Amino acid sequence: MRVVATAGHVDHGKSTLVHALTGTDPDRFPEEKARGLTIDLGFAFCTLPSGTDVGFVDVPGHTRFIKNMLAGVGAVDVAMLVVAANEGWKPQSEEHLRILDLLGVRHGIVVVTKSTLVDDETLEIAQLEVADHVEGTTFDGLEIVTCDARSGLGLDAVRAAIDTALAAAPSARDDQRARLWIDRVFAAKGAGTVVTGTLTGGTIQTDDELEAAGHRVRVRGIESHGMPSGKGEPGARVALNLVGVDRHQLTRGDAVVRPGQWLDVGIVDVALRTVPGTKLKSRGRLIAAVGSGEHAVWFRRLDDDYGRLRFDTQLPLAPGDRIVLRDSGAEATVAGAEVLDVRPTRRAADATARLRQPLGSRLLEAGWIPVAGLDAQAGLAPDAAASAVLAAGGESIGPWFVAGDVAADLRARVVTTVADHHRDHPNDRGLALVGLARRLDLELDHAEALVATVAGIVVEQGQARAANHTGGLADTDAGRAMVDALTATPLSPPPPTDLATARALVRERVIVDLDGVYFTAVALDQARALVIEALAASGSLTIADARDVLGSSRKYVVPIMGRMDAEGVTRRRGDQRIPGPRSGLLDA
């Protein structure tokens, strides 16, 4: 299913041609039918000779309704530019062509209508005039066909040309990032809120949970090209029946997207294409046509090629989106813009150097980029976004991407910083990660992920050290002396003579502090084994029993048994200790 938009000057026969091709009058309102003037978007569908189903978005040609025209062409890839043979090229022929050109619409046809109202020579002149005007635009070289919609003359040629154009146009991309710019909102009897638009970027299915202009909604039903369907495909005209939002809460220009897949942004940096013959002010107020809506923006020109747009509202935008800029005062289209950066630099003066880089490099400029959400920043499918970053020299570090040269420099600094710490503090086992992160000017979680990729550096107990570093207080004379003193009477150890050394050994997990009494870790392992053995024999122990089992005094036995309780080796029942879940005795 494909979509084709019309374009062209008022009264050049766009709606009549669509009616002749489809059998459906795209003019929906009585006022349009009475005046013979299209004022809003119309829709009609047909099947071409090839079997391709096509939907037409018919747009108004009068300059007063340019806003509605822009709403109709903002999401299409194929267009049919219509020029009447008896009137020739007109102002809105030119403006509509410029708009299609600025939006990057590269596929379609030109139809010279009302061919029976002129002689052969005039018809030929009209064709030559059209070819001359489209030269240098995206419509340059596209097929030009003639017809008379009222008599039916040439309609088969028009159908064949549309078929050829659609076959040449690439299929709508599926980036797994669906977005539907709403062009109609209405309430259907018995159904509630219905929105329509041309779906791009991905599929939408019945019962999907989506967001519509910030409202969480559920898709109750879908119609695609006028037919009920369980799924809307990219590039198709789609009507969504939404639950969770009232029709008065939505309007043309709002978007329906999948939660988490798009960034709602208010400032974007763009590449500019100025319309020939127009003057684009260096800064000021403009109207931006985005998708199916118009939005007021503050515009700032960064240089001849780039600009910055500040919207009055947040919109789900991504790199690659096309925008048409209009001067409301002059009532003229002045430029086209392609979104390049949805997370622009704070200082506009720094932007242009970044914008001249390819997408992957621009993304890496931001520093540590979370893998989650990269597709939203890139405007690509997740795999394609990751490929763009990797191709630009990025690398994956934990759940982030980082520029390869930045990562290499940070790794070198990790090695140097840890080595310096070992030299200055030879008795320390390592450098705390918190301190390392501070010296590298990194977030702690970034530092942890980075150190895990540094060869020759290991992390133990929150400290980074060189793999060949054996430092630590336990390896010093003072450390060995304290451990020896505690080991001499392991379950009734003497108080430490140097509390600073004792606390350092606790941090190294060589000794354990139990309520101010210091035991070696080995002594506690021995005590645990003795208690479990006694419980296996008798089923329970009192403190007095434990004192006899451990050959120690109450002063030492009470904190030891408290440790056994905390570990789950024992469990208190009054004055008794019985086997706990980690004693290994409950399953015996």
Alpha-carbon gap, residue 247 to 259, rounded angstroms: 20
Q: At what angle do helices 66-73 and 91-102 cross, to 10 degrees?
A: 40
**The pLDDT of residue 32 is above 70:** no
Task: Report residue 277's pLDDT band, with 50, 70 and 90 as the boundaries.
Answer: confident
Q: Tell me the mean pLDDT in the region 348-353.
A: 90
Task: Report residue 507's pLDDT band, with 50, 70 and 90 as the boundaries.
Answer: confident
Q: Is the model more confident about 474 or about 441?
A: 441
Task: Report residue 338's pLDDT band, with 50, 70 and 90 as the boundaries.
Answer: very high
**The pLDDT of residue 588 is above 60:** no
In this prediction, residue 85 carries a pLDDT of 96
Q: Is the model more confident about 313 or about 586?
A: 313
Q: Tell me the mean pLDDT in the region 34-46.
A: 83
**The pLDDT of residue 233 is above 80:** yes
255-257 and 293-301: which strand pairing?
unpaired
Q: How far is CA 467 from CA 189, 456, 470, in A?
A: 72, 5, 8
Query: What are the backbone dihedrals phi and psi of residue 563, each rounded to the nearest 5 degrees, phi first?
Result: -65, -40
Are the beta carbons of 426 and 473 closer than 8 angstroms? Answer: no
**The pLDDT of residue 461 is above 80:** no
- Two domains, one topology: 358-471 and 487-579: yes
For the record, the structure tokens of 59 come out as 């747009």
Asked if the 264-356 domain carries CATH number 1.10.240.10, the reply is no
Under 8 Å CB-to-CB from 119, ≥6 apart: which residues? none
Residue 207, SS3? coil
H or E stretch at 2: strand 2-8
**DSSP-assigned letter for residue 533:** H
78-84 and 570-573: which strand pairing?
unpaired
2-168 folds as Rossmann fold (3.40.50)
Asked if the 487-579 domain carries CATH number 3.30.365.10, the reply is no
Alpha-carbon gap, residue 542 to 226, rounded angstroms: 82
107-113 and 78-84: which strand pairing?
parallel
CA atoms within 13 A of residue 328's CA, in its CB half-sphere: 13
Alpha-carbon gap, residue 334 to 279, rounded angstroms: 7
Q: Count how many residues are written for the chain.
A: 588
Alpha-carbon gap, residue 261 to 238, rounded angstroms: 20
Alpha-carbon gap, residue 26 to 41, rounded angstroms: 8
Torsion of CA 16, 18, 21, 22, to 10 degrees: -120
Alpha-carbon gap, residue 417 to 411, rounded angstroms: 10
pLDDT in tens, 237-260: 999 999 999 999 999 999 999 998
Q: Is the model more confident about 507 or about 443?
A: 443
In terms of DSSP H, where are the helices of 141-294? Answer: 155-168
Query: What are the backbone dihedrals phi and psi of residue 56, each rounded to the nearest 5 degrees, phi first?
Result: -105, 135
Alpha-carbon gap, residue 326 to 286, rounded angstroms: 6
Alpha-carbon gap, residue 102 to 473, rounded angstroms: 70
Are the beta carbons of 38 and 170 closer than 8 angstroms? Answer: no
Domain boundaries in the chain? 2-168, 179-257, 264-356, 358-471, 487-579
Alpha-carbon gap, residue 242 to 221, rounded angstroms: 7
For the record, the structure tokens of 16 come out as 């009549």
Under 8 Å CB-to-CB from 248, ≥6 apart: which residues? none
Residue 259: Cβ-neighbour burial (10 angstroms; 0-12, 13-18, 19+): exposed
SS3 letters across 109-177: EEEEECHHHCCHHHHHHHHHHHHHHHCCCCCCCCCEEECECCCCECHHHHHHHHHHHHHHCCCCCECCC
Task: Report residue 309's pLDDT band, with 50, 70 and 90 as the boundaries.
Answer: very high
pTM for this entry: 0.77
Task: Report residue 469's pLDDT band, with 50, 70 and 90 as the boundaries.
Answer: confident
Residue 132: Cβ-neighbour burial (10 angstroms; 0-12, 13-18, 19+): exposed
Residue 370 burial (CB count, 10 A): 12
Are the beta carbons of 234 and 203 closer than 8 angstroms? Answer: yes
Are the beta carbons of 506 and 522 closer than 8 angstroms? Answer: no
107-113 and 144-146: which strand pairing?
parallel
358-471 folds as Arc Repressor Mutant, subunit A (1.10.10)
Report residue 369 CA to chain centroid gap.
12
Residue 481, SS3? helix
Diameter over CA atoms, the chain: 122
How much of the chain, in percent, has pLDDT values that exceed 70? 99
Mean pLDDT of the chain: 92
Task: Report residue 500's pLDDT band, with 50, 70 and 90 as the boundaries.
Answer: confident
179-257 folds as Elongation Factor Tu (Ef-tu); domain 3 (2.40.30)
Under 8 Å CB-to-CB from 445, ≥6 apart: which residues? 398
**The pLDDT of residue 510 is above 60:** yes
Are the beta carbons of 98 and 70 closer than 8 angstroms? Answer: no
